Amino acid sequence: MGLPTTPLDRTIKVRSRGHIPLYCPFCNHKDSRVLESRLTAENSSVRRRRQCESCEKRFTTYERLESLQFLVVKSSGNRQPYTREKLRAGVARACAKTMVTAEQIDDIVDAVEAELAQLGKREVPSSMLGELALARLKHLNQVAYVRFASVYRQFRSVEDFIEELNSLKEHEELLSNKS
């Protein structure tokens, strides 16, 4: 279901890492509310429907996704380059067999990445990565939240959590191949 379009709809293309203010094309106000966001077909940008908080007109932005570059510091002190795929896989596993859609999973990862981009750090503790994802899951789906929280908090690191889930998955596949 699309949002109603008005003759005042404007599309602007911006290159953003999440921390550049997006000025309203009508009144130049700097705060807008995101009504809807989705990845474009080629997954290279995020299309967002926005509404200006001042004049309330709607416009669309295309934010180019730049791959975030920072190191994830595990509780052991080991550092690994951040990858979106790993974070997404962890969230997706927690959401398995729930009503959470692939788009909602992408939205969570987008939101976490936007927040991380805003922080602009070169190193981020894995615990922070996990807490950011958890905060979103909490609002979205109880089952996914509990799963993510119980597994992740026990392991204290998203990386450990994902590794564990991957090994569980392999185990499941081994079992199902046998039957």
Q: Which residues pair with 81 in a beta bridge?
A: 71
Closest CB 159 distance from Zn ion, rounded Å = 42
Query: 102-161: which residues touch Zn ion (CB under 5 A)?
Result: none
Would you state the structure tokens that stand for residue 22, as one six-digit string?
A: 């997006």
Pick one of 52, 109, 140, 144: the residue that binds Zn ion (CB under 5 A): 52
24/114 with CB nearer Zn ion: 24
58/93 with CB nearer Zn ion: 58
Closest CB 60 distance from Zn ion, rounded Å = 14
Closest CB 51 distance from Zn ion, rounded Å = 9
27/146 with CB nearer Zn ion: 27
29/47 with CB nearer Zn ion: 29
Q: Which stretch binds Zn ion (CB under 5 A): 46-54, 73-81, 108-116, 152-160?
A: 46-54
Q: Which stretch binds Zn ion (CB under 5 A): 13-21, 50-58, 69-77, 102-110?
A: 50-58
3-state secondary structure the chain: CCCCCCCCCEEEEECCCCCCCCCCCCCCCCCEEEEEEEECCCCCEEEEEEEECCCCCEEEEEEECCCCCCEEECCCCCEEECCHHHHHHHHHHHCCCCCCCHHHHHHHHHHHHHHHHHHCCCEEEHHHHHHHHHHHHHHHCHHHHHHHHHHHHHHCCHHHHHHHHHHHHHHHHHHHHHC
Closest CB 53 distance from Zn ion, rounded Å = 8
* Binding mask of the shown chain, residues 12 to 31, with x at each position contacting Zn ion by CB under 5 A: ------------x-xx-x--
Residues 6+ apart with CB under 8 A from 130: 148, 152, 153, 157, 158, 161
Q: Say how many residues touch Zn ion, by CB under 5 A.
A: 7
Binding residues vs Zn ion (CB under 5 A): 24, 26-27, 29, 52, 54-55
